[in-house]
A and B are shown apart, each in its own frame.
Chain A
């Protein structure tokens, strides 16, 4: 019998309790927001699952904003002498497209998966610091809104996503756009930093009994590596952003070459963050498909320890390759040689992963679900991107390709073909887990194929365009420079633009799929015959995740509870002995008593709001900064003085007339 010490609105609880417990009204506005329904139950929640869903939903909105910006760019370049965008608007468009996709879509979408899945995959009831988790979410949301509000307040940032100095200083970018960008990224940086600390502590400290590090599901492993990357990369960009902020607002000269500044300081600081960032983007997707491929190949992941350690190796070496972004800046032959070699070296652990995935599928009984298609798509497309990446490691070749469309082709193959396809794979795979409904597989296939065709048509021709010498970030190209024959720039630009429309439609089909799937019947408990711990609970999971804290006996715990090894003479042969439903029912039958869950809180959102006010204050008025700072200080003290679990007295007495209590229901 489980005693849930917090109001929930599942019918079973309502039936037993004879009415839901509501927050008491005796403390005016400052009562704890313990509602379990309505918008408050989302806005002030500290439940990692709700926070994960909100992370994902907001990231999805930014995905379509960023996609719209990309379509405008491609429309402009479809024909010679494009007139859709002015040069100024074009600069803002590519800057914000990249900023949105990197910081406001892929990172938070990966955070959504990490937030939702890590506690479930390690057998915990929530993250280590639930209120900090809410703080991460709202700081990211407000940061994203802040950056995008610049469109309506004088123009967005226009220096490109790596915002090279001195192009980012006031004479070259006189609007407030760069300031919005700087402050907004500081905010999302706070979100990532807090989230990283939170999730590392969760994954290291809150594992269920028996879950050793080498029994951790592979997605949790990859997400853990990513959190370490964030932990050490975010402070570096924080320094760079502060220096830029002081340069633009307080007339410091950190990046003014005329005043004796070093022109490479910004580049080093940025790429010392920026290259680990690349792995921050792609490793979560590696983790996702390392869950998807074994499930749909009906085989364990080939060489789990190799996948773990190659992931960790990528994380480590990822801090030692940043200067390959700067081969054209005149670093000197020794630096170039060192970074050239280290860049080639990082292809090794990545190659190890590709081999592991391929061998996982080898000889398996493949089930080509949409999730599996996206996972295979990742392997193929990412490998293509990796191959063009190796050509960048060769410095002489790279100096030819620097700032051409060849670079654009490369990083879209690795980021779209790697990170984004993996995230979509995860979406299809875990949708029934998160929402209790399957997504439609037919629409899923359309979604997949249109995206794959679209991305290859969009980014494939960019290799040709780039090697022909079209520079990136030029707002128009002219007919008389387009060349002739097969390598005519005009033709391939048009193909690329048509491809981007197909890609856009393909991505929209995902929304269509969510819409057509909204009335699907409840998904079975174990729709994919899955392997890892997050499936040993209902779909969607209960508020307290697990009725009984699971005890872990092996990697792929769920699989081994369903299947037993009946092979002889060292041969493995697995026979199903239980269904997923039976495993879950067994857990429910032995539910824990006295499950404590942290209570919702106003303070995380108020604290984030204070940060938002401070950011507007930096741009507009010091008075506003003072207001924001007051809000932040109020929120900090409110937070520190508030117990993380609400008091009995904050709930109204149950309707049957008993004493007010946190023990709300007996299941």
Chain B
């Protein structure tokens, strides 16, 4: 595997990376990209733009089916708003710690960056644990995946969001590991910012989901 071939002295002064940053003509002069936004950041914004449509489709499906539970258990009997508010608060706070991580990375404070990234991942993990707990409670109360159209679309929507949070946690932890070992090629602050963009997006989606799914009465 290629990582076994890397001499630490080489990674200390990384080559300008053709796949990242610099735009066209990866010459020693170091051209700027045409738009001034780095390639990776533009790509992340585009990806998040398309993610809006993914969640748009899932949210639309849920909104269509939110009251179609027939005789089975419905949202009114299930929601525990205080509990979900608490986990939502935890997720929102993780956005704050993510901002602190990005800010530390910009000031090149490596240790603080890793610290805040780890805290962000932990808060994300806490949110996920809350979601697992919530799902378990709902299941015990009789809301299986196939119970009703409502339950299928609810679990699909929140499940997709949960998977996004989980992927975000993996990204955060990988980032912490790679920072610790000095394995980030190119602009470290920007790499942290990139993961931050994704993380904030996942949070924003949760705000929408929390409002539409939990707060608006059925």
| Interface residues of A, Cβ cutoff 8 Å to B | 27, 30-32, 122-126, 128-131, 193, 196-198, 200-201, 204-209, 211, 231-236, 238-240, 242-243, 246, 250-254, 259-262, 265, 269, 549, 592-598, 637-638, 640-650
Are B26 and A129 in contact, with the CB atoms below 8 A? no
Please tell me which one of the listed residues A122, A130, A235, A260 contacts residue B19 in the complex, with CB atoms under 8 A apart: A130
Are B50 and A232 in contact, with the CB atoms below 8 A? yes
Are B1 and A205 in contact, with the CB atoms below 8 A? no
By a CB distance below 8 angstroms, the chain B residues around A32 are: 2, 5
Which of B2, B149, B178 lies at the interface centre, i.e. has the most chain A CB atoms within 10 A of its CB? B2
By a CB distance below 8 angstroms, the chain B residues around A240 are: 57
Which of B16, B19, B20, B56 lies at the interface centre, i.e. has the most chain A CB atoms within 10 A of its CB? B19
Besides A204-B35, A235-B53, A250-B145, 14 other A-B contacts (C-beta < 8 A):
A129-B19, A130-B19, A197-B46, A197-B50, A206-B23, A236-B57, A251-B145, A252-B146, A260-B149, A643-B11, A643-B14, A644-B17, A644-B20, A647-B10
Are B2 and A638 in contact, with the CB atoms below 8 A? yes
Query: What 7 pairs across the A-B complex have the smallest Cβ distances?
Result: A239-B57, A644-B19, A235-B54, A235-B53, A206-B24, A252-B152, A205-B33
Closest to A546 in B: B25
**A204-B34, A252-B146, A260-B149 in contact; A647/B24 too (CB < 8 A)?**
no
Ordered by A's residue number, 17 sampled pairs between the chains whose C-beta atoms are within 8 Å are A27-B4, A27-B5, A30-B5, A128-B19, A231-B46, A235-B57, A246-B156, A251-B146, A252-B145, A253-B148, A269-B57, A549-B24, A595-B26, A596-B15, A598-B19, A644-B19, A646-B2
By a CB distance below 8 angstroms, the chain B residues around A209 are: 31
Closest to B19 in A: A644
Q: Is B158 an interface residue (CB 8 A)?
A: no
B196 to chain A, nearest CB (A): 17
Closest to B53 in A: A235
**A130-B18, A252-B156, A647-B6 in contact; A201/B39 too (CB < 8 A)?**
yes
Please tell me which one of the listed residues B7, B16, B26, B42 contacts residue A201 in the complex, with CB atoms under 8 A apart: B42
Are B58 and A253 in contact, with the CB atoms below 8 A? no
Q: Is B37 an interface residue (CB 8 A)?
A: yes
Are A596 and B149 in contact, with the CB atoms below 8 A? no
Complex CA–CA separation, A642 to B31 (angstroms): 23
Complex CA–CA separation, A196 to B50 (angstroms): 10
Q: Is B97 an interface residue (CB 8 A)?
A: no
By a CB distance below 8 angstroms, the chain A residues around B68 are: 260-261
**A239-B61, A265-B64, A637-B174 in contact; A597/B18 too (CB < 8 A)?**
yes
B25 to chain A, nearest CB (A): 4
Size of chain B's interface in residues, with CB distance under 8 A? 57
By a CB distance below 8 angstroms, the chain B residues around A201 are: 39, 42-43, 46
Are A232 and B53 in contact, with the CB atoms below 8 A? yes
Are B5 and A650 in contact, with the CB atoms below 8 A? yes
B62 to chain A, nearest CB (A): 11
Are A596 and B1 in contact, with the CB atoms below 8 A? no
B147 to chain A, nearest CB (A): 10
Q: Is B164 an interface residue (CB 8 A)?
A: no
Please tell me which one of the listed residues B2, B27, B42, B47 contacts residue A594 in the complex, with CB atoms under 8 A apart: B27
B209 to chain A, nearest CB (A): 15
Complex CA–CA separation, A642 to B51 (angstroms): 27
By a CB distance below 8 angstroms, the chain A residues around B53 are: 232-233, 235-236
By a CB distance below 8 angstroms, the chain B residues around A27 are: 4-5
Complex CA–CA separation, A231 to B6 (angstroms): 36
**A204-B42, A206-B34, A240-B57 in contact; A126/B18 too (CB < 8 A)?**
yes
By a CB distance below 8 angstroms, the chain A residues around B152 are: 246, 252-254
Are A205 and B156 in contact, with the CB atoms below 8 A? no
Closest to A209 in B: B31
Closest to B1 in A: A30
Closest to A193 in B: B50
Are A645 and B146 in contact, with the CB atoms below 8 A? no
Are A205 and B185 in contact, with the CB atoms below 8 A? no
Complex CA–CA separation, A125 to B26 (angstroms): 9
By a CB distance below 8 angstroms, the chain A residues around B149 are: 253-254, 259-261
Closest to A650 in B: B5
By a CB distance below 8 angstroms, the chain B residues around A549 are: 24-25, 27
Closest to B174 in A: A640
B187 to chain A, nearest CB (A): 14
Q: Is B153 an interface residue (CB 8 A)?
A: yes
Are A239 and B58 in contact, with the CB atoms below 8 A? yes
Are B3 and A647 in contact, with the CB atoms below 8 A? no
Are B57 and A596 in contact, with the CB atoms below 8 A? no
Are B33 and A206 in contact, with the CB atoms below 8 A? yes
Complex CA–CA separation, A593 to B27 (angstroms): 8
- B161-175 interface (Cβ within 8 A of A): 174
Q: Is B49 an interface residue (CB 8 A)?
A: yes
B96 to chain A, nearest CB (A): 26
Q: Is B76 an interface residue (CB 8 A)?
A: no
By a CB distance below 8 angstroms, the chain B residues around A235 are: 50-51, 53-54, 56-57
A112 to chain B, nearest CB (A): 21
By a CB distance below 8 angstroms, the chain A residues around B148 are: 253, 259-260
Q: Is B106 an interface residue (CB 8 A)?
A: no
By a CB distance below 8 angstroms, the chain A residues around B14 are: 643
Complex CA–CA separation, A642 to B23 (angstroms): 20
Please tell me which one of the listed residues B6, B11, B43, B70 contacts residue A198 in the complex, with CB atoms under 8 A apart: B43
Complex CA–CA separation, A451 to B10 (angstroms): 58
By a CB distance below 8 angstroms, the chain B residues around A640 are: 174, 178
Closest to B58 in A: A239
B160 to chain A, nearest CB (A): 8
B44 to chain A, nearest CB (A): 9
Please tell me which one of the listed residues B2, B25, B39, B49 contacts residue A129 in the complex, with CB atoms under 8 A apart: B39
Which of A193, A198, A234, A246 lies at the interface centre, i.e. has the most chain B CB atoms within 10 A of its CB? A246
Please tell me which one of the listed residues A30, A125, A231 contacts residue B2 in the complex, with CB atoms under 8 A apart: A30
Please, what's the 1-or-0 string for B54-83, where 1 marks a CB less than 8 Å from any CB in chain A?
101110010011001010000000000000
Which of B61, B174, B183 lies at the interface centre, i.e. has the most chain A CB atoms within 10 A of its CB? B61
Closest to A549 in B: B25
By a CB distance below 8 angstroms, the chain A residues around B19 are: 128-131, 598, 644
A250 to chain B, nearest CB (A): 6
**A201-B43, A206-B34 in contact; A649/B7 too (CB < 8 A)?**
yes
Are A205 and B23 in contact, with the CB atoms below 8 A? yes
Complex CA–CA separation, A630 to B6 (angstroms): 24
A114 to chain B, nearest CB (A): 15
Are B24 and A208 in contact, with the CB atoms below 8 A? yes
By a CB distance below 8 angstroms, the chain A residues around B43 are: 128-129, 197-198, 201
By a CB distance below 8 angstroms, the chain B residues around A646 are: 2
**A235-B53, A239-B58, A598-B18 in contact; A200/B35 too (CB < 8 A)?**
no
Are A205 and B35 in contact, with the CB atoms below 8 A? yes
By a CB distance below 8 angstroms, the chain A residues around B185 are: 643-644
Closest to A129 in B: B19
Please tell me which one of the listed residues B25, B39, B49, B64 contacts residue A231 in the complex, with CB atoms under 8 A apart: B49
Are B18 and A645 in contact, with the CB atoms below 8 A? yes
Closest to A232 in B: B53
**A201-B39, A204-B35, A238-B54 in contact; A649/B5 too (CB < 8 A)?**
yes
Complex CA–CA separation, A595 to B18 (angstroms): 10
Complex CA–CA separation, A269 to B37 (angstroms): 33
Are A200 and B54 in contact, with the CB atoms below 8 A? no
Closest to A26 in B: B5
Are B34 and A205 in contact, with the CB atoms below 8 A? yes
By a CB distance below 8 angstroms, the chain B residues around A250 are: 145-146
By a CB distance below 8 angstroms, the chain B residues around A128 are: 19, 39, 43
**A27-B5, A231-B50, A597-B18 in contact; A641/B33 too (CB < 8 A)?**
no
Closest to B14 in A: A643
Are A205 and B5 in contact, with the CB atoms below 8 A? no
B54 to chain A, nearest CB (A): 4
Are B156 and A242 in contact, with the CB atoms below 8 A? yes
Closest to B54 in A: A235
